[in-house]
Structures are given as C-alpha cells and as structure tokens.
Homo-oligomer: A and B are copies of this chain.
Amino acid sequence: MTVTLKDIARQVNRSVTTVSRALHDYADVSPETRALVRRTAEQLGYVPNVVARRLQKQRADAIGLILPSYGPRLSDPLFADILSAAADEITRAGLDLLISIVHRPEDEVAPYYQRVGERRVDSVWVVHTRCHDRRIAYLLERRIPFVAGGRVLEDWVFPYVDVDYARGMHSLVSHLIQLGHRRIAFAGESAELTAVHYQREGFRHALQEHGLAIYEDLIVESNPTQRGGYDAAQTLLSRRDAPTAIIAGNDMMALGVMSAIQDQGLEVGSDVAVAGFGDIPLAETSHPTLTTVRVPAQQMGRVVGQMLVMSARGQEISNPYVLLQPELIIRQSTDLDLWL
C-alpha cells in the first residue's frame, strides 16, 4: 500500500523522528543515516502525505478563489489570462489553487469564512471588486488573509493589485478629443464595480480638462458582453445628438459596438470611432482593428499570485498596493489613416 515514514524507519532501523529529520536535512542526522534514509525512501517510493503535514503544521498550503457565477466569466480572455498567470505562480510555490463557484449573491461572503475556517485554504483571492464591497469588509473584520484584484472606494487598508483605469481612460479620451471628437460616449458595466467607477472618473476628468461639456446621457450602463455593447450602441446611435465616438468598458463590448454601427450602415472609424479596454487578441484582428487600452493581464496575474503566496504563508507582503499602468494602443477603429 502507501509508504509512510514509519515504513522507512522500520527498514533503516531508525526512529520516525530521525527519518523525518533526515529528509528535511536537519543537522543532527549523520551523513550516513541521511543517505540511507534518502535511498530507502526513494526505493520504497515514499511520497509524503501532505494532509498529515497540513494538520500538524496548521497550514493548508492552499489559496481559494471564489468565483461568483454572475461575476467575471472564465471565458473572459482577460480574466483567463490573469488566472492562468496567477495559477502558475501559485503552483510554482507548491501551493494549491482551489476554485469554487458560488451562485447567489447572498452566498457571496459565507464561503470565504467557511473555507478558511475549515482550513481548506490559508488565504483567498477576491476578484471583481465593487466600490463598497461587502466581501472585503467581511474579510477585514474577520481578519481573514486575502488579496484583492481591484480597489474599493473606502479607505480600508488591504493588499490589492489593480489597473489604473482612470489614467488609461484619460489618455484614450484625450486622444479622441485631439482627433476632433466632441460628443464621446462611454458604455461600461455597472458603476458599482470599482473598475467602471474609475473608468467613468477618468472619462469625466479628461473632458473637463479639455473644457468640454459632460453629457451624462452619453454615459450608459450595459452588460459586459458583445451583446451588451451592441445594445448600448444601438441606443446611443438612435439619440438625436448621437455621439461620434463610443468607448466600451471592455473589448468584447467594443466588438459589439462595432457590429451595431456596421449594422446601421455606418462605417466604424469614419462615421463613429470605437475603442475598448483590454487588448484581447481579437482586438488586433477585427475589421477594423480595435483601438484599446491594453491591460497587462499576465503581469497582473503574476503579481497577484505572488502576493497570495506570501499572504498564505503568513509573510508580510513586500509591496501590497500595486497599481499597474495601462497602455493606449491606437488602431483603425479610431484612426482613419490607419485603415488601408
């Protein structure tokens, strides 16, 4: 059956203690014994039982990701990239990444407590933060270790990784203004989400800075999907004073916006400019190619992964407030000249 320390101990005529210490390179084990133990362990095909280790060490060596089914879809390319990179960091560190799906918003907060209480995980990863996030309030209150993907609008102190959406939006809007646009629309997900909040903030700020009026009815809310972008664009374009440029909260929405424009017989870029957020692979290959604000997804994943590992190990997180800078990628959907 399965080989334990006891089996090795019996075989080499030493105590379990010594075997354990030999395998962990303690100094009070003679080189001969160490070698013997090593060899025997190898021979017998010993694999340590991490469950026993976890019990003794009072560590789960695992990180939990609780995914609201109504939250970021796994199929969101950006999120998938973040997740992959984070999973990679976590795996490399020898920890487990544990994914659970939760459906009802009222179940949103209990699973965190439960999973940590049950010692399934040492630390949790909160994604898709909202401006006033109950989950984070709860985790802070219960002193449960966690790292957030995104900020909140409270002045709570906790480790996070986020993208500077406001700045990204600012440079995007500035660019559109320079191209001559005066009526610019923004279609994003719910403004409850911190990311969207900052997008709107950057949006308004840029307009103000250039002395332009802010038309509140050009700031709309829609689903973060292609369909959502499509619908939003239809609404916007049917206004008497339709916008000459539409910014979408993410690239999938932007693709939907483009579809809507084309379906109305208009031309993207010349009639209505379009831009998105994210820079997913499709942005580069759509027709026309999509101007967008590139989000460094992989880097985000790496950083959040590393922070989670530190947090799970109970270490101080060296740099707990990370705000990554996005990059404006100009393509055909805003720049006619780029369209051959």
Contact = CB atoms under 8 A, between A and B. Distances in A.
Complex copy number for this chain: 2
Interface stretch (A20-28, A111-119, A207-215): A111-119
A50 interface: yes
Interface residues of A, number: 50
Given A55-B52, A97-B98, A117 B47 contact: yes
B55 A51 contact: yes
Interface in A82-125: 83-84, 87-88, 91, 96-102, 113-114, 117-120
A315 interface: no
A118 B53 CA distance: 10
Contacts of A80: 73-75, 80
B60 A51 contact: yes
A100 B87 contact: yes
A133 to B, nearest CB: 22
Interface in A236-275: 255-256, 259, 262
A225 to B, nearest CB: 7
B281 A225 contact: yes
A227 interface: yes
A97 B96 contact: no
A291 interface: no
Given A51-B55, A83-B74, A262-B287, A120 B99 contact: no
Contacts of A76: 75
Given A2-B117, A87-B101, 19 more contacts: A47-B113, A47-B114, A48-B118, A50-B118, A50-B120, A51-B54, A51-B60, A52-B55, A55-B55, A74-B83, A80-B80, A84-B101, A88-B101, A91-B102, A98-B98, A225-B281, A227-B281, A230-B285, A259-B287
Nearest to A229: B285
Contacts of A99: 87, 91, 97-99
Given A80-B80, A91-B101, A282 B226 contact: yes
The 9 A-B pairs with the shortest beta carbon distances in the complex, nearest first, are A47-B117, A75-B80, A74-B80, A75-B77, A91-B100, A50-B118, A88-B101, A51-B119, A51-B54
Contacts of A91: 99-102
A11 interface: no
Contact of A100 (B97, B281, B287): B97
Contacts of A281: 225-227
10 contacts: A49-B55, A49-B118, A69-B88, A73-B84, A74-B83, A91-B99, A97-B99, A98-B99, A256-B285, A282-B282
